[in-house]
Structure 1
Amino acid sequence: MTKFSTLIGLAAAASLCVSPVLAQTVADSDVPTTSLNIPGNVQIYGDAKANVYRPSATVNGEIITATDIEQRMGLIRVANNNLELPPEEEQRLRQQVFSNLIDEKLQIQEAKAADITIDENLINDQFARLAARYKQTPEQFSAYLASKGSSAAAVKQQIRGEYAWDRLLQRNIQSTTNVSKEEVDVIFDRMMQSKGQDEFHIAEIYLTATPENIESVAENARKIVQALQAGGSFAAYARQFSEASTAVVGGDLGWVRAGQLPDTMADAARQMQPGQLVGPIEVPGGVSIMLMVDRRQVLTADPRDAVLSLKQISLEFPAGTSEAKASELAGQFAEATRGIAGCGAAEGVAQSLGAQVVARDNIAMRQLPPPLQATLINLQVGQTTQPFGAANEGVSVLVLCGRDLPNTVAEPNREEIENRILEEKVNKRAQRYLRDLRRDAVIDFS
């Protein structure tokens, strides 16, 4: 159940829990009162120095330095295309990174106390896979990270922490967590009763607000939206900024129906298409930014459930290609590939362009990015998509060689339901576990 959330490798963080607690749906009247003896007319004595952000700490005797924090900040910049944040937003992010580093230190310490060791070869292999996503060797990737204010050591430490925590959860929580047949039956029956209803796979970034500060909070949300529209990672921003319980899974709410959402979010969801981003939306207790990951009708056949056979023709751009030159090359590529008549002609066209061809079968359409799904739904077998790509990589088209459409929808898979319930239980127990570690830790800020 390893879930790598390394900020430069967020694409790997695909494991998400189902039906998490929606913190923003709690009405004011439902907010529990504390059991602390706090007077209504609180008066603060002394100065506020204890609350001032300090860029280093000792966690149970182990040091977190200001350099550690800045190198993790560098990772976030790498993951988000080197976006520059407003000073106040960057400071808030730095504080969150500091908090995350403290949690990571506690997780590694707890794993060590349980005699859990992580093979360094495993960490190096994961680092090499991350480097490969950037089309670099580990040595090149290390130099690239250093140029962005981070380091290979920072990445490897985060990988180490995630492996250690995952192994600890497997031993102490997952192995002792069970799902009963009755629990599966409840979800199974609920899905059968919901057949045909719209269901939405949504991710959110939730920011708390009061009537007094909602305008400034909404303005911060708009800045986050602008950063996301410029290419920022939604999961990374959710982890760092969202104040909902779903922040730990990149803001993912899982599959939900309109009735499970606040009215304003439900209204927005009904109008959204996969891949669309909206916000800020005012919700009880604050504002939310919504990303429509996907949508479907429960237990109903959908064209996007098709399984495809594809050929991809790809033309790499020379290093240093400008946006203008990339547009010119893409135009020539589009003209040459537009006339492809069937998959059998793909190799000949590719050879004439100096391009490469890769054939792939059994590709689930839902695995593809939403814009490509929208294109492929309307293609006939033998036709090609519009060109797509990036100036620093190249340009590609997909040729549709075959499409297997779902004719019927089977009943819900009981094993999948059981696995999702188990994952939800493990995630909730893991949050309580980490909360207890924080409570018992000796942390000295300096």
Structure 2
Amino acid sequence: MTRFSTMIGLIAVAAAGVTPVLAQTVSDNEVPTTSLNIPGNVQLYGDQKANVYRPSATVNGEIITATDIEQRMALIRIANNNVELPPEEVARLRNQVFSNLIDEKLQIQAAKDAKIEIDENIVNEQYARLAARFKQTPDQFNQYLASKGSSSAAVKQQIRGEFAWDRLMSRNIQSTTNVSTEEVEAVVKRMNDAKGQDEFHLGEIYLSATPDNAAAIVENARKIIQALQAGGSFAAYARQFSEASTAVVGGDLGWVKAGQLPQSIAEAAVGMAPGQLVGPVEVPGGVSIILMIDRRQVLTADPRDAVLSLKQISLDFAPGTTEAKATELAGKFAEATRSIAGCGAADEVAASLGANIVARDNIAMRGLPGPLQATLANMQIGQTTQPFGAASEGISVLVLCGREMPQTATAPDLQEIENRLLEEKVSKRAQRYLRDLRRDAVIEYS
């Protein structure tokens, strides 16, 4: 059940089927109901300064320094292409990173108390895989991180924390959590009742606003959208900036129907394609940025449920390749691959270009990025996609070798439903566990 969600955005996890919980507002004449004995007309006494959070703390005796926070901030900048954010957003992000580091300390401490030890060889292996994503050796990655204001220690500590927490959850929660047959049958019934209705798999970044600051919040939302369009990780931004409770799962609302959404979001979702980003959308209490992760009709056959056989031809770019050079190379690559006549000819063309080629069967079309889905849906067997890639990574094309189309509506997958319900239960119990750790911790801010 390993969940790598490192701030550098190299590996992201989205919880499946999360029930949407949107931020709500309370009018001036309404009093929220709580279990606390708080008077309606609260008056504060004394000086607030004693309770100001400062950028360092000890958590059950273990220190978090300002350097720790800044190195994690640097990882976020790396993940989001060094896009500049407004000072107020940077301040809020720094506070969130501080909170994340406190949680990480608590998670590692809890795992240690449970006699769970993480082999450093595993940490180093994962670090090497992350370095490879940047086409670097671990030593080169060390220098790269240092040049950006972070460090290998910051990345390895986060890897260590994630492994420790996952193993603790697997032992203490997942092993004792069950899903009943009745729960699965209830989900199946709801699906059958909703057959043919549109469902949307959405991501949301919610920012609260008041009449006084609405203009500034909208401007901040637009800057976040620009960062996302420049390649920023939606899940990373949601975790750091969203004020909805779904921030902890990267803003993932799961599969929802229009009737479960605020009207403005429902209206936007109806016209969105998979992979599309819209916003800021005005919602009760603020604005939202919406990502259409996927869409479908309940229990209805969809061409995007096709299973594909593909060959991928890839040409790596040398380190330091400029956008101009990448464009030139892409043009030559496109011209050469355009002449491919069927999958049988792909290997010869790849060899002539000095490119890599891999063959893959049983590829679910839904698992591919939205633009590629749209391209492949309209291609004939043996045709080749247009090139895609990035100057920092290289360029590829896909050759369509086979396509198995869905013949009828897919029946509910009972195992998939059970797994999703189990994951939801484990996630909720894990959140309660972490909440209890926070409540019992001794945290001294300095």
TM tier, smaller:
over 0.9
Is residue 305–residue 406 contact of structure 2 (8 Å, CA) maintained in 1? yes
Give the distance between the partners of 1:32 and 1:188, measured in 2 at CA: 36
Give the distance between the partners of 1:173 and 1:408, measured in 2 at CA: 38
Give the 5 Å matches for 1:39-188: 39-188=39-188
Matched with 1:14 is: 13
CA displacement, residues 328-384 of structure 1 (integer Å, 9 cap, x when unaligned): 221122122222211122223223333232222221112211111111110001111
Q: TM-score, normalised by structure 2?
A: 0.95
For residues 410 and 210 of structure 1, do their structure 2 counterparts lie closer, same or farther at Cα, with a shift above 3 Å needed?
Answer: same
Shift of 1:71: 0.8
Larger mean Cα displacement after TM superposition, 161-170 or 41-50: 41-50
Is residue 27–residue 284 contact of structure 1 (8 Å, CA) maintained in 2? no
Give the distance between the partners of 2:120 and 2:19, measured in 1 at CA: 34
Give the distance between the partners of 2:170 and 2:352, measured in 1 at CA: 53
- Structure 2's unaligned 5+ residue stretches are none
Shift of 1:291: 0.4
Shift of 1:212: 3.7
Give the 5 Å matches for 1:331-342: 331-342=331-342
Shift of 1:297: 1.0
CA displacement, residues 143-175 of structure 1 (integer Å, 9 cap, x when unaligned): 211111111111111111111111222222222
For residues 144 and 104 of structure 1, do their structure 2 counterparts lie closer, same or farther at Cα, with a shift above 3 Å needed?
Answer: same
Matched with 2:431 is: 431
Shift of 1:409: 2.8
Shift of 1:24: 2.5
Matched with 1:291 is: 291
Matched with 1:243 is: 243
Shift of 1:21: 4.3
Residue 221 in structure 1 maps to residue 256 in structure 2? no
Q: Helix, strand or coil: the match of 2:8?
A: helix
Give the distance between the partners of 2:68 and 2:258, measured in 1 at CA: 42
Letter in 2 for 1:13: A
For residues 31 and 45 of structure 1, do their structure 2 counterparts lie closer, same or farther at Cα, with a shift above 3 Å needed?
Answer: closer
Residue 24 in structure 1 maps to residue 20 in structure 2? no
Shift of 1:114: 1.6
Shift of 1:74: 1.2
Residue 389 in structure 1 maps to residue 389 in structure 2? yes
Larger mean Cα displacement after TM superposition, 274-283 or 347-356: 347-356
Is residue 8–residue 130 contact of structure 1 (8 Å, CA) maintained in 2? no
Count of aligned pairs: 445
- Structure 1's unaligned 5+ residue stretches are none
Letter in 2 for 1:181: T
Give the distance between the partners of 1:146 and 1:23, measured in 2 at CA: 39
Q: TM-score, normalised by structure 1?
A: 0.95
Larger mean Cα displacement after TM superposition, 213-222 or 270-279: 213-222
Q: Helix, strand or coil: the match of 1:23?
A: coil
Give the distance between the partners of 1:259 and 1:115, measured in 2 at CA: 47
Give the distance between the partners of 1:171 and 1:348, measured in 2 at CA: 51
Is residue 343–residue 400 contact of structure 2 (8 Å, CA) maintained in 1? yes
State the Cα RMSD in Å: 1.9
Q: Helix, strand or coil: the match of 1:24?
A: coil
Letter in 1 for 2:414: R
Letter in 2 for 1:80: N
Is residue 25–residue 261 contact of structure 1 (8 Å, CA) maintained in 2? no
Give the distance between the partners of 2:118 and 2:110, measured in 1 at CA: 13
Give the distance between the partners of 2:120 and 2:133, measured in 1 at CA: 20
Is residue 308–residue 401 contact of structure 2 (8 Å, CA) maintained in 1? yes
Letter in 1 for 2:422: L
Shift of 1:26: 7.4
Give the 5 Å matches for 1:350-361: 350-361=350-361
Letter in 2 for 1:206: Y
Is residue 80–residue 233 contact of structure 1 (8 Å, CA) maintained in 2? yes
Letter in 2 for 1:235: A
Q: Helix, strand or coil: the match of 1:425?
A: helix
Is residue 64–residue 101 contact of structure 2 (8 Å, CA) maintained in 1? yes
Letter in 1 for 2:182: E
Give the distance between the partners of 1:27 and 1:15, measured in 2 at CA: 30
